[in-house]
């Protein structure tokens, strides 16, 4: 299904422009026509089809632009402008229900200043000197439902529709386990009975965990691609014509208000008490609702909450602030389509859509090939993003991402941006499949891919990119510790032909370095001094710095205990290595394979010849930079393997654990981080990315 985005370029926005005659107004008028057309179309995709082509924040930006034009030039407002009505998500296939009270929407604020000016307006309009009190609740990102109880029994469930008329989805709502079919759920509960006619509003959502599990299940059935986003899945589920399908979707409802109750019923008079009452009746209510009678405390809470948004087990796009007193809320009335007594404070968006314009492939030290998406630049979570990781070619295939696709990308917390998936509905047919390379993009050697494995590898141990990364690794802090030699320096030396491998570093001289750009006397002397010092690293460090897969500090120490020189280690047989307690068969095999490569053997010879310490039982005193810290690694990091990261952490006195608990100090998350990341957010464990880890490896943990 490919509805083309409407082309509005031929439309002319006429009347008001002719009236004023000003070129500026004419331009604004044209823009307004264009924006209205776009908004109408995107609203239809979002609300009716549950298949949006752009992110909510992009929609909001278009809407806000139109709203600003119309506010500045009221003469441009048209009766059918999207600003003039509550959006509609009516679905023609479903029967209709007229709401007892219209379902309005919320005015938005994006900053503290906007919250304050809303409060000022409220004070002015209500003409009160009394202190205001507020209830703050999460702004759920799901689908609004309106549920009617007659004599305590659920009799009707509807969507918001256009605010006045909604779709009748009673059968579907009945399948949602958190929606009570009868209230109070506990007939003996000591709560005031709801009146004969009682209408509750809430939001149907899918919890993050449930959504993951659902995607997993759909993946098993080969039908994962359509379920990219929890909100749209929830909305699609609720509008099914067959409630049996709805019942297989992990929907949850959170109640957030009473829309109608028979007159004279004795119900709570404030929003906070209302939520408590709903909970007592048996509805699910958010744990994160707070009551404030002080503006400053509330603003502080809202600011703090932003950094905790990932801790919630469902997606929110902001917080809703409501004047707590129902009486005051009512008396404040409605402005346009928004009640004046409530405000949605929106967080900066983390998900946006953009076009995937190409794919580059990064080559890692081990030869691993990581696809990287080149994007049309977009601004998300405070940064302009041009690239996002595609993780691995298995993922690309599973998600069916193609070049030319509009894709959703996410930048959550401190985690590097990644491609969530393509927006299938935006396909034109011109997209190109992304295939795993058959040759290394750098050295053009054949690619290796073992059946059943996720990753593809460059087969050439001498690949220039792999060599460069190996040398960077060798020089890294906690390994050979060659201070002042980072990624840039290594590449400069390689490009100038001054080195070909790690051992060549020790043959550098002042004469050779002088020719390089940026190398002044002090820098040269420092580097030479650091290289001299690196020759005397303890043997376990030397073994680790070779970069043998799976050989971190623990394994390196075990190996040299039994084979206390590089010569002896190189001569060890598979049986001998396998016999070392604590060294498994697969690690033993990797060690054998590594030494069997001509490049490795040559390197060992050259290191010995260069005077690097390659003998002795001396092990490094543990660096204590990360002592006392426990790390959990998850997902794919942009430049390091998880083994490398673990080795560096251990070399600096940190511990690496396989599972997240309250004792975990940091979760290092890369692309496609899974349940460990969820667990971390659930427990409030700090999450960092590869750069965050590198910062810790340089500066230690400032918190300890």
- Point out the residues that are catalytic: 139
* Of positions 147, 230, 342, 527, contacts ligand IVH by CB under 6 A: 342
256 binds ligand IVH (CB under 6 A): yes
Say whether residue 541 binds ligand IVH (CB under 6 A): no
- Which one of 58, 67, 70, 137 is in contact with ligand IVH (CB under 6 A)? 137
| Contact positions with ligand IVH (CB under 6 A) in 308-327 | 320
Distance, CA of 417 to CA of 410 (rounded, Å): 5
Contacts with ligand IVH: how many residues (CB under 6 A)?
15
SS (H, E, C) 578-645: HCCCCCCHHHHHHHHHHHHCHHHHHHHHHHHHCCCCCECCCCCCCCCCCCCCEEEEECECCCCCHHHH
- DSSP secondary structure, 267-335, as one string: --SBHHHHHHHHHHHT----S--EEES-HHHHHHHHHHHHHHGGGSSS-EEEEEEEESBHHHHHHH-EE
Which listed range, 101-109, 121-129, 307-315, 430-438, lies at the site for ligand IVH (CB under 6 A)? 101-109
Stretch that binds ligand IVH, among 93-101, 120-128, 337-345, 582-590 (CB under 6 A): 337-345
The least distance separating ligand IVH from the CB of residue 257, rounded to whole angstroms, comes to 6
Of positions 51, 58, 203, 324, contacts ligand IVH by CB under 6 A: 203
Check binding of 158 to ligand IVH (CB under 6 A): no
Asked if 340 touches ligand IVH (CB under 6 A), the answer is no
Say whether residue 89 binds ligand IVH (CB under 6 A). Answer: no
Shortest gap between Cβ of 48 and ligand IVH (angstroms)? 15
* Contact flag: residue 553 with ligand IVH (CB under 6 A): no
Backbone dihedral angles phi then psi of residue 157, each to the nearest 5 degrees = -135, 130
For ligand IVH, the binding residue among 13, 25, 66, 106 (CB under 6 A) is: 106
Q: Give the span between the Cα atoms of 666 and 630, in whole angstroms.
A: 7
Residue identified by tokens 């949602």 is 176
Give the residue closest to ligand IVH by C-beta: 144
Which residue lies nearer to ligand IVH by CB, 144 or 232? 144
For residues 565 and 615, the answer to whether their CB atoms sit within 8 Å is yes
User: What would the x/- binding string for ligand IVH be over residues 272 to 311, using CB under 6 A?
Assistant: ----------------------------------------
Q: Which is nearer to ligand IVH, 231 or 365 (CB)?
A: 231
When binding is defined by CB under 6 A, the residue of 90, 104, 498, 516 that contacts ligand IVH is 104
- Strands 252-261 and 107-109, by their bridges, are unpaired
Stretch that binds ligand IVH, among 137-145, 238-246, 323-331, 346-354 (CB under 6 A): 137-145
Minimum distance of ligand IVH from residue 320's CB (angstroms) = 4
Distance of alpha carbon 141 from alpha carbon 318, whole angstroms:
9
**Long-range contact set of residues 21-26: C-beta below 8 Å, sequence gap at least 24:** 25/73, 25/76
Q: How far is the CB of 342 from ligand IVH (least distance, A)?
A: 6
* Pick 46 or 457: Cβ nearer ligand IVH: 46
The residues, any chain, with a CB within 8 Å of residue 143's CB and separated by 6 or more, are 89, 159, 160, 203, 204, 205, 231, 234, 235, 238
Query: DSSP state, 671?
Result: B
Q: Does 339 bind ligand IVH (CB under 6 A)?
A: yes
Q: Which stretch binds ligand IVH (CB under 6 A): 66-74, 339-347, 619-627, 637-645?
A: 339-347
Contact in structure between 372 and 417 (CB atoms under 8 Å): no
Local structure of 575: helix, strand or coil = helix
Place of tokens 């023609």: 92
If one asks whether residue 343 binds ligand IVH (CB under 6 A), the answer comes out as no
- Contact segment (CB under 6 A) with ligand IVH among 98-106, 206-214, 408-416, 425-433 equals 98-106
260, 100 Cβ separation under 8 angstroms: yes
Q: In sequence order, what are the residues at sequence separation of 6 or more whose Cβ sits closer than 8 angstroms to the Cβ of residue 579?
A: none
Give the integer Cα–Cα distance in Å for 626 and 631.
10
Sheet architecture: strand order including 134-140: 107-109, 342-346, 316-323, 134-140, 290-292
Residue ranges in contact with ligand IVH by CB under 6 A:
104-106, 137, 139-140, 144, 160, 203, 256-257, 320, 339, 342, 344
């Amino acid at each position: 299904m490919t509805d083309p985005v409407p082309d509005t370029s031929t439309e002319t926005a006429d009347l008001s422009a002719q009236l004023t005659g000003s070129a500026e107004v004419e331009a604004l008028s044209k823009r307004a026509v264009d924006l209205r057309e776009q908004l109408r179309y995107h609203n239809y995709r979002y609300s009716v089809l549950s298949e949006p082509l752009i992110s909510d924040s992009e929609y909001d930006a278009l809407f806000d632009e139109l709203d600003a034009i119309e506010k500045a030039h009221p003469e441009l407002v048209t009766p059918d402008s999207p600003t003039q009505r509550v959006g509609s998500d009516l679905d023609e296939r479903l029967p209709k229900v007229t709401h007892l009270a219209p379902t309005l929407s919320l005015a938005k604020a994006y900053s503290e200043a906007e919250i304050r000016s809303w409060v000022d307006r409220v004070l002015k309009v209500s003409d009160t000197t009394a202190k205001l009190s507020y209830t703050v609740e999460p702004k759920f990102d799901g689908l609004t439902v309106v549920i009617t109880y007659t004599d305590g029994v659920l009799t009707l469930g509807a969507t918001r529709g256009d605010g006045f008329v909604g779709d009748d989805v009673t059968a579907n709502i009945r399948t949602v386990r958190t929606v009570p079919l009868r209230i109070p759920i506990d007939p003996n509960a000591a709560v005031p009975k709801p009146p004969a006619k009682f209408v509750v509003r809430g939001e149907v959502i899918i919890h993050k965990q449930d959504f993951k599990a659902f995607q997993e299940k759909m993946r098993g059935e080969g039908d994962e691609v359509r379920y990219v986003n929890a909100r749209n899945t929830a909305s699609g589920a609720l509008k099914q014509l067959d409630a049996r399908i709805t019942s297989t979707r992990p929907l949850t409802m959170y109640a957030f208000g009473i829309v109608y109750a028979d007159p004279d019923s004795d119900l709570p008079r404030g929003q906070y008490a209302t939520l408590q009452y709903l909970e007592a009746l048996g509805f699910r209510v958010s744990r994160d609702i707070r009551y404030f009678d002080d503006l400053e405390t509330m603003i502080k809470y809202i600011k703090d909450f932003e950094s905790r948004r990932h801790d919630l087990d469902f997606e929110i796009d902001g917080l809703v602030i409501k004047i707590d007193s129902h009486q005051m809320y009512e008396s404040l009335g409605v402005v346009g389509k928004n009640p004046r007594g409530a405000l949605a404070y929106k967080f900066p968006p983390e998900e946006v859509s953009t076009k995937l314009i190409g794919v580059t492939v990064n080559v890692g030290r081990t030869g691993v090939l990581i696809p990287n998406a080149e994007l049309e630049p977009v601004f998300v979570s405070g940064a302009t993003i041009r690239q996002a990781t595609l993780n691995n070619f298995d993922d690309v295939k599973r998600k069916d991402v193609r070049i030319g696709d509009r894709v959703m990308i996410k930048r959550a917390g401190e985690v590097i941006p990644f491609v969530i998936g393509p927006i299938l509905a935006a396909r034109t047919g011109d997209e190109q499949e992304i295939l795993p390379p058959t040759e290394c993009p750098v050295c053009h050697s054949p690619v290796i891919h073992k059946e059943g494995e996720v990753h593809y590898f460059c087969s050439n141990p001498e690949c220039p990119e792999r060599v460069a990364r190996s040398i960077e690794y060798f020089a890294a802090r906690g390994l050979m510790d060659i201070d002042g030699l980072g990624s840039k320096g290594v590449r400069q030396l390689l490009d100038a032909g001054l080195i070909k491998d790690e051992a060549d570093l020790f043959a550098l001289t002042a004469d050779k370095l002088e020719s390089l750009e940026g190398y002044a006397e002090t820098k040269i002397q420092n580097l030479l001094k650091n290289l001299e010092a690196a020759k005397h690293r303890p043997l376990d460090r030397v073994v680790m710095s070779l970069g043998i897969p799976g050989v971190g500090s623990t394994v390196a120490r075990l190996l040299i205990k039994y084979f206390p020189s590089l010569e002896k280690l190189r001569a060890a047989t598979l049986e001998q290595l396998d016999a070392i307690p604590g060294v498994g068969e697969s690690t033993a095999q990797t060690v054998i394979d590594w030494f069997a490569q001509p490049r490795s053997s040559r390197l060992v010879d050259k290191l010995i010849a260069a005077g690097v310490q390659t003998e002795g039982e001396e092990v490094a005193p543990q660096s204590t930079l990360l002592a006392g810290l426990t790390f959990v690694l998850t997902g794919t990091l942009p430049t390091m393997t998880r083994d490398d990261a673990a080795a560096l952490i251990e070399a600096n006195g940190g511990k690496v654990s396989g599972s997240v608990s309250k004792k975990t100090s940091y979760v290092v998350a890369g692309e496609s981080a899974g349940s460990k990341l969820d667990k971390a957010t659930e427990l409030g464990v700090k999450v960092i990315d590869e750069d965050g880890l590198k910062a810790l490896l340089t500066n230690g943990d400032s918190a300890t």
